[in-house]
Structure 1
């Protein structure tokens, strides 16, 4: 029989789904498993997983595909059912989801914990809509007048949203400052109209609009940096803003000026473990063969804030970068031999396209920066298109 101290060391090296299984192997292992859970001795270097809904499982089951081991884990989530949700992000081991009434809900697929954010009607540009019988019917999306900084009380017919449709407009991108269960977590979201920003803290009763500058719109990517406690937001023209939400009111600063005229591409911002910031520009084309959008070109730029320029690169220091609806994260390939160095692992995250073409196959592809090649990632055929698949690194917090 293995000694408890040795078992605890072994358990601390396991991927979290395997750690859960170890606690159920036999009665003598359970106390050691509980020690690892209580003292948080599990490895922080968890394997990246793709989370999706599998057609051969129940609607309330989320499937995690571990890319390093090729194992599949099936986790049963409590109501509302996983398949009925819209997944528009992940960070710190939590999925960022919206239910069929467009409420934002954080879900930890490892612990099954859930945390709800303020409801849509607390957003400054959203109004509840009722039908003639006085029943809740949906949402009205209001537009800001940039000159008066006020909201138009009139909406176009296309802006009359059903309860379900609201989530495709309210949560284009979502980033969080820390584990949402740890306290004082700030949630920043990009939303329509205009790809603008609003934020709230876990426990708040309403969302706060960020309109400190007339240029606070057209945001493509947002991230939070634990190095300095700031959010960073990338606009469609390559401009980067730093956003400080730690004080009584938002502080927005332009830290990278406009790089290029507007180029129609999906743009991301990421910060590497070694401190450098990157812009990733992803171009899509329509594929008749796949009956949908596919990634056709990709450019990666290191941001030089001092020189106020972008420098194209073809290496990520032997790391892999995971991008999609999730907050971008880097993984050292030396720790996960199945991953391809200097590559970007993509999932389909064109929110408007997903909304309009829900039956089209969601793209999961690997871009190799060294030879500029794209490879479809081999996944089980039972993977469904909804909710959209997303990358995650599991956590027990």
Structure 2
């Protein structure tokens, strides 16, 4: 019976659907909250495919990518938010998502961009072309990569190299070949490197200045420039068109807590008014379910709160911010991005919130990590944890937004 219904729709779709105008179609698809179902509707006939947009507004929400099987980890079986299950990526390290693309690093050193919405993919230069790699010897087990800046040893294994990528982002959609650029934080010293279409390897953004040797925690691309924030919250600006740039002398906020007194992670995003936004994510360590005190060894950690600062360019200073208004900030391994408010699966307006995933490898222990995923409400300062009963979730989930 189902097959007969499908055949009828396909055989009569063009004539029937052509009678509906675009407004009526838009009203109908508002009731479809699954992107995969929406794709199937567009594929019914040529008329629908040409009339309906690729991604409707009501589905332009943060999606959580789960690179593991259905029942691998507790708490993932009944997720109410939009999500993809991609167990085919369980042996990779997902190190970025930008403009609807995931950036994955395989154990073989291959770096691949995958679009789960369109099923498209393309390769970026492999791990062996990083500026920090001076020799690649694939036949030498556990010492395949000889490094220029050895901290833990002169040679590193494929698995170690996978994890030496902190993050990879895109400057724009890969469809824009002329403007496209990938930027990565990589290596034991968290340096910056970039790739443009046509390049056969990764290139240091500034290989000559010792002062810029690394410790970067996040970066964004905007109007041909790369902005980066380092471990000590120092801001850097690089003009990729002129190859000029370096540290900007922006004083730290008066209430900023130095890293040596607090476990935290920093992120950069672009505010809707065009200014830079600095987000500081604070972590709380736990031992046997209780908050750790002093030097007490922790069993796991979770996000406790966020602080926000917006750059006042004319005054050259960071100003404390307390609200995102009608916007939502999404952070983690993904490109840090502010997006307009949207309705959730219950019809509630999601606004003034921070969606975060776990990308803090430096705080991981062997028995936990990847679990710190949630939504922080800036209005009441409360956190909704996505996996409240889990302490390990590997590979870590990652947020992705459709382009």
TM-score higher than 0.5: yes
- Which deviations, in whole Å up to 9, do the C-alpha atoms of 1:151-193 show, x marking residues without a partner? xxxx455453211220211x21222111124313111111123
SS in 1 for 2:220: strand
CA contact (8 A) 2:375 2:384 kept: yes
Q: Label 1:374 to 1:66 Cα distance change in 2 as closer, same or farther (>3 A).
A: closer
CA contact (8 A) 2:300 2:391 kept: no
Following the alignment from structure 2 to structure 1, what is the Cα–Cα distance between the partners of residues 84 and 140?
A: 44
Q: Which residue of 2 aligns with 1:392?
A: 400
Following the alignment from structure 2 to structure 1, what is the Cα–Cα distance between the partners of residues 287 and 154?
A: 31
1:51 aligns with 2:61: no
Which of residues 339, 344, 347 in structure 2 aligns to 1:331? 339
CA contact (8 A) 2:130 2:201 kept: yes
Following the alignment from structure 2 to structure 1, what is the Cα–Cα distance between the partners of residues 275 and 184?
A: 23
1:263 aligns with 2:259: yes
Q: Which residue of 2 aligns with 1:316?
A: 324
Q: Which residue of 2 aligns with 1:350?
A: 360
CA contact (8 A) 2:171 2:182 kept: yes
Q: Which residue of 2 aligns with 1:173?
A: 167
Q: Which residue of 1 aligns with 2:147?
A: 141
Q: Which residue of 2 aligns with 1:366?
A: 375
CA contact (8 A) 1:102 1:165 kept: no
Q: Label 1:339 to 1:266 Cα distance change in 2 as closer, same or farther (>3 A).
A: farther
SS in 2 for 1:215: helix
Q: Which residue of 2 aligns with 1:306?
A: 314
Q: Which residue of 2 aligns with 1:91?
A: 98
1:22 aligns with 2:41: yes
Following the alignment from structure 2 to structure 1, what is the Cα–Cα distance between the partners of residues 387 and 141?
A: 46
- Which deviations, in whole Å up to 9, do the C-alpha atoms of 1:278-309 show, x marking residues without a partner? 11111223222464121123211111122122
Q: Label 1:112 to 1:342 Cα distance change in 2 as closer, same or farther (>3 A).
A: same
1:219 aligns with 2:220: no
Pairwise CA distance, 1:72: 4.8
Q: Which residue of 2 aligns with 1:151?
A: none
1:288 aligns with 2:291: no
Q: Which residue of 2 aligns with 1:117?
A: 124
Taking the TM superposition and a 5 Å limit, the aligned residue runs for 1:61-100 are 70-74=81-85, 81-100=88-107
User: Matched residue pairs, number?
Assistant: 360
RMSD, aligned α-carbons: 3.3
Q: Which residue of 1 aligns with 2:133?
A: 126
Pairwise CA distance, 1:141: 2.4
Say which structure, 1 or 2, has more relative contact order (CA 8 Å, 6+ apart).
1
Q: Label 1:383 to 1:262 Cα distance change in 2 as closer, same or farther (>3 A).
A: closer
- Which deviations, in whole Å up to 9, do the C-alpha atoms of 1:104-159 show, x marking residues without a partner? 2111001111111112222221134548x76784212222xxxxxxxxxxx45545
CA contact (8 A) 2:221 2:227 kept: yes
Larger radius of gyration: 2
Following the alignment from structure 1 to structure 2, what is the Cα–Cα distance between the partners of residues 317 and 338?
A: 15
Following the alignment from structure 2 to structure 1, what is the Cα–Cα distance between the partners of residues 68 and 92?
A: 14
Structure 1 range deviating more: 385-394 or 364-373: 364-373
Q: Label 1:311 to 1:385 Cα distance change in 2 as closer, same or farther (>3 A).
A: same
CA contact (8 A) 2:71 2:77 kept: no
Pairwise CA distance, 1:255: 3.8
Pairwise CA distance, 1:352: 3.6
Taking the TM superposition and a 5 Å limit, the aligned residue runs for 1:193-212 are 193-211=188-206, 212=208
Structure 2 residue ranges without an equivalent (≥5): 1-15, 290-298
Pairwise CA distance, 1:9: 4.0
1:183 aligns with 2:191: no
Pairwise CA distance, 1:65: 9.7
Q: How high is the TM-score relative to the length of structure 1?
A: 0.79
Following the alignment from structure 2 to structure 1, what is the Cα–Cα distance between the partners of residues 394 and 387?
A: 18
Structure 1 range deviating more: 91-100 or 188-197: 188-197
Q: Which residue of 2 aligns with 1:244?
A: 239
